[in-house]
Chain A
Amino acid sequence: MAKLSLMFENKLVKEVPIGSRPVTIGRSPDNDLPVDNLAVSNYHARVYFEAGRLVVEDLDSLNGTFVNDLRVERATLHDGDSIWVGKHHVKVDATADAAIPWDTGRKTAAPKINETMVLDTKVRREMIQQAAAMGERAQFSAGRMRVATLVVLSGKIDIKEFTLTNKLTVIGKSPMATVRLKGWFKPKMAAQINQRDDGYYLGTGDKVPTVNGTPITGTVRLNDGDLIEICGVRMNFIFRE
């Protein structure tokens, strides 16, 4: 069972367990953790479990709630965190508590949505936290986006490497083409690569490119290391971290 310990300097004032009911912190005596200090609002903050995570929420207090050094409106708590209200702080002890993995709690935690909505303030933070938690589990962080790159192995092209940043990358003689082919009989738009949510797709243009030696039909999803050949140019499709 997780517990909260209200401290003043190094002295323990009161200790409460956290169960299904939220724990309230404030100046009013009916709080679970009453703090007798004018800098603390009557109902200052509350702590509760949500989707398996321990959350602190500031109740529009005048002087704010801080987790460690950061002022928060709402934050997920971890073992060892300190919630500061005025000169008091509440230590979080979550050691004995096994957090429920997020994906088992997802269905109930997510609001039922039919209408289109924009994630805003509270909901947004909540969902991003949940998504982040999910990301941690999948060993994936927001910062680590892979950049697709075409490396030219052979053929008449001046530039040896292209980073595919646009939604649509054109390979051809057109002046707008990212991968610009040279030569009299080269088509304006030989082939194209479309960046989609789940990866990069090579499509035919005026020519049919080959991927790993096989001519493509329609569009194919490119995999790291694929060898593309078109109009006498050989390129390697790779992801860079």
Chain B
Amino acid sequence: MQIVSSGLSDVGRVRTNNEDSFRIVEALNLFILSDGMGGEAHGEVASAMAVDVINKVCESEKEDSGATVLDEAPATISSQTRRLKSAVAQANFQIFQAAQKNPEQRGMGATITAMWLKDTMLSIAHVGDSRAYLLRSGNLQQLTSDHSLVAEQVRRGLITPQQAEESEMQSVLLRALGAHPEVEIDTDEVEIIPRDVLLLCSDGLTRMVTEPEIAGALQAEMVPSSAAERLIALANENGGVDNVTVIVVRFEDDANKGWFSWMRRGSAKKD
């Protein structure tokens, strides 16, 4: 399977600093996106750290580097997913430790959405409210559940999704990296098929742009870099109150090479 990806981050229309971080590691087919929080410049520190630690752990040769597998994860998840999960656990611990050591960084934290593809198996690890979507057969499907107070209230049937969108509590997270020495990490596995499009995004996109708009942009722009630009432009047109970061990944049949190399040339902006 052929893979083309593109990531883009924008400060938005209101904020002065960008606390989001992302990384695409083409050699590993690893995609990481993190939204930092905590005043001054500490949100940036936390999200950059999250991305860096996860990249390093996934890159390391050893199957399980150090005392990493903190979880007694069910055997139903693959070793690759377990490794991604332990990478996220390490990122959490390192951010937590850094925040403990430097009093001015107290309270810093980050969300994480990390995806790792091996063959056709996509491993997903996730904490916080940055989302992952899969566009398949024209349907946009959410692959992650937000760990936010409002999402939890929706799941319990206490409020409707519409009420959640209007709530002033949208920014309240129930889980994030760096808040505690240990964090509960959601994992999932999805088999990727040709023509799938994957989107990772920070809440700066999902709060500004509706899902039909997102699906429309992903379908209209076949080239991932153009799709990423379009999504960011949409978020800014609708207000751009937060940093916006997106990673768009497109999967294509090997047979489709001619079209594919054209698309690759078109995807200029990479991390």
Contacts and interface: CB of A to CB of B under 8 A. Distances in A.
B171 A198 contact: no
Contact of A115 (B39, B156, B164): B39
A131 B145 contact: no
Contacts, number: 113
B143 A167 contact: yes
Interface size class of B (residues with CB under 8 A): 35 or more
Contact of A189 (B136, B141, B160): B136
Interface residues of A, number: 40
Contact of B154 (A131, A197, A218): A197
A113 interface: yes
B191 A174 contact: yes
A80 interface: no
Interface string A102-135: 0000000010111111111000100100010011
Given A116-B37, A167-B144, A192 B161 contact: no
Q: Which of B157, B172, B189 has the most CB of A within 10 A?
A: B172
B247 to A, nearest CB: 18
Contacts of B160: 198
A197 B154 CA distance: 6
A218 B144 CA distance: 20
A218 B37 contact: no
B99 to A, nearest CB: 11
Interface in B97-141: 107, 109, 120-121, 129, 134, 136-139, 141
Contact of B188 (A166, A170, A196, A205): A166
B2 to A, nearest CB: 18
A149 interface: no
A194 B141 contact: yes
Interface in A185-239: 188-189, 192, 194, 196-198, 201, 203-206, 218-219
Interface in B131-177: 134, 136-139, 141-146, 149, 151-158, 160-161, 164, 168-169, 171-176
Given A174-B191, A174-B193, A197-B154, A117 B171 contact: yes
A135 B157 CA distance: 9
A225 B132 CA distance: 29
A138 B157 contact: yes
B188 A188 contact: no
A116 B35 contact: yes
B179 interface: yes
A206 B168 CA distance: 40
B171 A115 contact: yes
Nearest to B133: A194
Nearest to B36: A116
Contact of B173 (A116, A192, A205): A116
Contact of A117 (B120, B173, B190, B203): B173
A205 B172 contact: no
Contacts of B164: 197
Nearest to B151: A197
A111 to B, nearest CB: 9
Contacts of A174: 191, 193
Nearest to B183: A118
B146 A197 contact: yes
A203 B137 contact: yes
Contact of A119 (B143, B168, B174, B189): B174
A206 B37 contact: no
Contacts of B171: 113-117
A120 B172 CA distance: 10
A1 interface: no
A166 B144 CA distance: 10
Interface of A: 110, 112-120, 124, 127, 131, 134-135, 138, 140, 142, 166-168, 170, 174-177, 188-189, 192, 194, 196-198, 201, 203-206, 218-219
11 contacts: A113-B171, A115-B37, A138-B156, A168-B134, A168-B141, A192-B139, A194-B142, A196-B142, A197-B161, A206-B137, A218-B138
Given A116-B129, A167-B141, A174-B191, 12 more contacts: A116-B171, A117-B172, A117-B173, A127-B172, A131-B149, A131-B158, A134-B158, A168-B134, A197-B155, A198-B160, A203-B139, A205-B137
Interface of B: 35, 37, 39, 107, 109, 120-121, 129, 134, 136-139, 141-146, 149, 151-158, 160-161, 164, 168-169, 171-176, 179, 188-191, 193, 203
